[in-house]
Amino acid sequence: MTTDTPPASTPQVKEKISQIRELPAPLRWVPATVTVLLMMMTLDYLFNLGWLTFVTGLETQFYYAVVALLLPLVFLLWPMRSSQQEQSIPWYDYLLSAATLIVGGYFVYNAVPILERGWAFAAPDIAIYASYAYWVLIIEAARRAGGLPIAIIAGLFSLYPLVADIVPGPIQAFPSSLSETAMYHTMSTESIMGVPLQAFAGLVIGFLVFGVVLQKSGGGKFFINLAFALLGHVRGGPAKVSIFSSGLMGSMSGSVISNVLTTGVLSIPAMRRIGMSRSFAGGVEACASTGGVLMPPVMGATAFVMAMFLDVPYSTIALAAVIPSILYFLGLFIQIDAYAARNDIKGLPAVELPSVWQTLKEGWYFIFVFGLLVWMLLVMQREAVAPFYATALLLVLNQLSKHNRWGWKDVTETLSSAAKLFAELIAILAGVGMLVGALSMTGLSGTIANDFINIAGGSVPLLLLMGAATSFVLGIGMTVTAAYIFLAVALAPALIQGGGLDPMAVHMFILYWGMLSFITPPVALGAFAAATVAGARPMETGLQAMRLGSVIYFIPFLFVLNPALIMQGEPLMIVAVFIQAVIGIILFASAMQGYLMGVGRLGYGALQEIVIRALVLIAGLLLALPGGGMVPFSQWELIGLAAAALLPGVALARLSQRHHQRSLTANA
């Protein structure tokens, strides 16, 4: 067999997907320099070092400085139109970048009077004009970095206070003038400088740096080599390697696209070698990388924003995410195992696989650093500074290793990569912050929950379905962070107040349904990235990912109905519900691929397969579903119903197998 090679190198594919253009030679030092300055400011702010008190002495001044430093990069890195990606930077982008730096610098310089004299409500004329300029620049930056849907939604909502008195019925509110709205957006702590940006500046920066350093220091290669050494030889081995490596890598990098482009360039060609189609291989990688972002200890920027909204330590979010992420990866693993068994797909020859001992010998320190990060997050509760300590340790150990030691080029590439991530996220968070600010300014954030409850007629199941549909639709058009922030303000209170649901479960529910956009057509960003690496059709890869990751579509309903699945409850209850959910997920995933461990193929012939797989699938859903509460059956009744579906399904599968074997024997 021949080894498929990815159609382009990882950096090329990443630039293509993110639509970032290459800077001219005289400016290539800019992103790295911005990262260095941002790190100095952040370390000074978090560790109270007193180096840069002229920009970190005041909390809001630090936030202004972060935006002023990063936002100008957006106009240099992202072209006005994607078709201009290969062209040189036009004069107007230099002008926009300079204007953003000047306006941002004005707010940094005036941070003290903004706070002390209440400029958010009454500001000098020059500050108002600067606010108008920042408003427009931020919406344009959000459009370039996050896409047109984010710009439209954030832009329209940012204008909402101007017309709040003439909009229809439930969303009517007190209006504000243009100057009042501009001042509130730029100089209050509820809009651009609100919760999303505060989470970014206080928590996210460190974890993004850790993820970038981990990738650039060979962490992706180590985890995938370890996965190949452990699982490469079993049936469907490379696909299982993708799950294992992407889960480990994604749990620390926190980025779906980066995860695909780090582990996918090795796992996808290996999956092709053992006979899996391009679209199937891409779908596996997309699902695995999406799951990695949902797995603790690092779950991406959205989880940190969630911690700010819920006013809980990030470690609480990480613990709550453990069981749902295990269930998701279990469902994915079982589907791949069933697919490989049904299609007789073997693993790779043992002689071609790396040694477990040699792999651990070369990269043991990645596991050590991982352990330090988890310990500082969960035991010491130091989430703000934990990634900086972990990154420092990783850099020291990496330089002592002869296998992955950095040169000067590696340093500059790492700093530049980090700057691109920072700039993209800051543009999106600043834009979406104005959406939150508009709801806060008009008071709509306090009444919109009641409107949702009235629309649903007080029905909690209907509220949940509305929440799932809204999260899904917004997730398709926006990044998951942007969709989450909007729904955390607008929808979460309705589910919590109107439905009496657990707050953590509700926010996790919104996060999960927002993440579905990465594997669900028509957008399916994770599947598109994997398709690019695999050389497959994007839509076909998205459909494969949707099928493979199908378990994620109902896991959120499970933990909303029973918060024991997010570690809320008595230990015995948590264990019992978890075990039952595991059995249910195994049956569900097996039915999706038509093969059940210990039973074999679930029927031969179209009609037999439909009936048998439907029975097993129903049994799986019934077992996974928590009884009581909104569910009109007790736990024991659900177990009985599941058995009533499963036992006939298994019996029919056995009969079908015997009949098929007799037919083969008779025809031999």
Q: Which helix (H) or strand (E) holds 493?
A: helix 492-493
548 C-beta neighbours (distance < 10 Å), count = 25
Considering the chain, what is the average pLDDT of its residues? 86
Tokens 């999260």 belong to residue: 471
- pLDDT at site 18: 55
- pLDDT at site 478: 67
Which tokens hold the place of 643? 């058995």
Radius of gyration, CA atoms only, the chain: 26
Q: Residue 253's closest CA among 222, 295, 211?
A: 211
- pLDDT at site 380: 85
b/e string for 74-85 if b means 16 or more Cβ within 10 A?
Answer: bbbbbbeeeeee
3-state secondary structure of 604: coil
Q: Residue 208's closest CA among 41, 391, 335, 79?
A: 391
- 3-state helix vs strand vs coil in the chain, percent to 5: 75, 0, 25
In the predicted structure, residue 332 carries a pLDDT above the cut 80: yes
pLDDT (average), residues 251-256? 64
- pLDDT at site 251: 64
Tokens 């000067």 belong to residue: 408
User: Contact, 92 vs 140, CB < 8 A?
Assistant: no
Which tokens hold the place of 279? 């679209």
Lowest mean pLDDT of 132-146, 194-208, 336-350, 453-467, name the range. 453-467
In which band, very low, low, confident or very high, does the pLDDT at 446 lie, cut at 50, 70 and 90? low
Q: Residue 280's closest CA among 340, 235, 347, 227?
A: 340
Percent of the chain's residues with pLDDT above 90: 35
Full 3-state SS string of 375-396 = HHHHCCCCCCCHHHHHHHHHHH
- Model confidence over 556-575: pLDDT tens digits? 999 998 888 998 888 998 99
- pLDDT at site 138: 96
pLDDT (average), residues 79-92? 86
Transcribe 415-472 into DSSP letters. HHHHHHHHHHHHHHHHHHHHHHHHHHHHTHHHHHHHHHHHHTTT-HHHHHHHHHHHHH
- pLDDT at site 616: 95
Q: CB under 8 Å, gap of 24 or more: what pairs does 388-392 form?
A: 388/43, 388/46, 388/206, 388/209, 388/210, 390/210, 391/206, 391/209, 391/210, 391/213
Amino acid letter, residue 51:
W
- pLDDT at site 513: 84
Pick 524 or 15 by higher pLDDT: 524
Pick 482 or 36 by higher pLDDT: 36
- pLDDT at site 665: 84
Measured CA distances, 560 to 58, 330, 391, 506 (Å): 40, 19, 35, 6
Q: Which helix (H) or strand (E) holds 601?
A: strand 600-601
Tokens 């996060």 belong to residue: 511
Contact partners, residue 573, CB within 8 Å, separation at least 6:
564
Lowest mean pLDDT of 58-72, 405-419, 638-652, name the range. 405-419
- pLDDT at site 274: 87
Lowest mean pLDDT of 2-6, 70-74, 159-163, name the range. 2-6
In which band, very low, low, confident or very high, does the pLDDT at 331 lie, cut at 50, 70 and 90? very high
Chain-centroid distance, C-alpha 646: 35
- Model confidence over 361-386: pLDDT tens digits? 888 898 899 889 889 988 888 888 99
The span from the CA of 25 to the CA of 23, in Å, is 6
In the predicted structure, residue 423 carries a pLDDT above the cut 90: yes
346 C-beta neighbours (distance < 10 Å), count = 13
User: Contact, 534 vs 279, CB < 8 A?
Assistant: yes
Chain-centroid distance, C-alpha 385: 21
In the predicted structure, residue 67 carries a pLDDT above the cut 80: yes
First to last CA, the chain: 30
pLDDT (average), residues 473-498? 78
In which band, very low, low, confident or very high, does the pLDDT at 135 lie, cut at 50, 70 and 90? very high
The span from the CA of 577 to the CA of 561, in Å, is 11
Percent of the chain's residues with pLDDT above 70: 94
User: Contact, 596 vs 602, CB < 8 A?
Assistant: yes
- Model confidence over 191-249: pLDDT tens digits? 999 888 998 898 889 888 988 888 888 887 888 888 889 888 888 888 888 888 877 77
In which band, very low, low, confident or very high, does the pLDDT at 253 lie, cut at 50, 70 and 90? low
The span from the CA of 23 to the CA of 474, in Å, is 32
